[in-house]
Amino acid sequence: MATSLVTENNLVSEIIRAASALTTSYVSSRVINIQGANQVQLLVSFTKGNSAGCRLKIEYSEDQTTWYQESMVSEFPSANDVKHTLVTRKIEDTGNYVLSIPVSASFFRVSAQAIMSGDNTSLSILVIMAHI
């Protein structure tokens, strides 16, 4: 876990997942301390291999025990109840990707899985944290 705190106009970057093969089960990255940050960018390098792509789950925690996954409103029924669905970010092609995410939690991790097959896949994630 990161021990550095992000302060005004300060950027901190950390590798949370070194380049390695994926499995078809979700595996979480190491946990990082994002206290003081209000923005993170994930620099994701993905090699598709024999898979159909990969999925990423962004997760937040205040205590490193209870984790909360991103959700989004997916349905607006007529009864004023909105339906929230858990978000997974899907990458289908080999490449380098930037995901920019506003944050306000204390701890952060990314869980990743290969879709269908993990053969010849590779995924690395660098996180850049900032207070902007």
- Neighbouring residues of 71: CB distance < 8 A, sequence distance ≥ 6: 84, 85, 86, 87
Closest CA to 121 of 14, 41, 20, 12: 20
**Residue 13 token pair:** 């970057």
Each domain of the chain, given as residue ranges in start order, spans 11-130
Tens digits of residue pLDDT in 68-124 = 999 888 777 677 777 888 999 999 999 999 999 999 999 999 999 999 998 999 999
- The whole model's pTM is what? 0.87
Tens digits of residue pLDDT in 45-74 = 999 999 999 999 999 999 999 999 998 887
CATH number of 11-130: 2.60.120.380
